[in-house]
Structure 1
Amino acid sequence: MQDLVLKNITKHISLDENETVYFLSILKERKYPKKTIILKEGDICKTINFVQSGTLRAFYRDQQGKESTIMFAVSDWWITDMACFVNQQPAILNIETIEESHMLHLQKEDLDDLYLKIPKFERFFRIIMQNAYIREQLRVIQNLSLTAEQRYYIFLEKYPQVVKQVTQKQIASYLGITPEFLSMIKANKKK
Structure 2
Amino acid sequence: MESFLDLFPQGKLSVEALQALTARIMTRRVAKGEVLLRKGDKVRKHYFVKTGLLRSYTLDEHGKEHIFMFAPEGWIISDSGWQVPGKEADLYIDAIENSEVEVLEDGLLASTGLFTEEAIEKLANRIYVLQKRIILLMSASLRERYLDFLATYPAIVQRVPQRMIASYLGVTPEALSKLRGDLAKQQRH
Mapped to 2, the partners of 1:9 and 1:22 lie a distance apart of 14
Question: Residue 9 of structure 1 corresponds to which residue in structure 2?
Answer: 8
Question: Residue 21 of structure 2 corresponds to which residue in structure 1?
Answer: 23
Q: CA deviation at 1:165?
A: 2.3
Q: 2:181 aligns with which of 153, 178, 187?
A: 187
Cα deviations across residues 50-83 of structure 1 (Å, max 9, x unaligned)?
A: 1111111100011211010011111111111111
Stretches of structure 1 that go unaligned for 5 or more consecutive residues are none
Mapped to 2, the partners of 1:188 and 1:130 lie a distance apart of 40
Q: CA deviation at 1:4?
A: 2.5
Does 1:80 pair with 2:78?
yes
Give the match's secondary structure for 2:69: strand
Amino acid at match of 2:183: K
Question: Residue 41 of structure 2 corresponds to which residue in structure 1?
Answer: 43
* CA root-mean-square deviation: 3.3
Mapped to 2, the partners of 1:27 and 1:76 lie a distance apart of 15
Contact 2:51 2:73 in 1 (8 A): yes
Mapped to 1, the partners of 2:73 and 2:120 lie a distance apart of 18
Q: 1:101 aligns with which of 99, 102, 105?
A: 99
TM-score (norm 1): 0.80
Contact 2:52 2:72 in 1 (8 A): yes
Q: CA deviation at 1:143?
A: 3.9
Q: CA deviation at 1:158?
A: 2.6
Contact 2:82 2:124 in 1 (8 A): no
Pick which of 174-183 and 151-160 moved more.
151-160
Q: CA deviation at 1:101?
A: 0.9
Mapped to 1, the partners of 2:132 and 2:60 lie a distance apart of 22
Give the match's secondary structure for 2:39: coil
Q: 1:155 aligns with which of 149, 170, 188?
A: 149
Question: Residue 118 of structure 1 corresponds to which residue in structure 2?
Answer: 112
TM-score (norm 2): 0.81
Change (3 A) 1:106 1:99: same
Q: 1:166 aligns with which of 154, 160, 165?
A: 160
Mapped to 2, the partners of 1:52 and 1:185 lie a distance apart of 32
Q: CA deviation at 1:22?
A: 0.7
Mapped to 2, the partners of 1:188 and 1:72 lie a distance apart of 25
Cα deviations across residues 20-77 of structure 1 (Å, max 9, x unaligned)?
A: 1111101121101111111112222220111111111100011211010011111111
User: Larger helix proportion, structure 1 or 2?
Assistant: 1
Stretches of structure 2 that go unaligned for 5 or more consecutive residues are none
Mapped to 2, the partners of 1:131 and 1:8 lie a distance apart of 21
Give the fraction of aligned pairs with identical amino acids, expressed as a percent.
31
Q: CA deviation at 1:153?
A: 1.6
Contact 1:56 1:99 in 2 (8 A): yes
Q: 1:175 aligns with which of 162, 169, 176?
A: 169
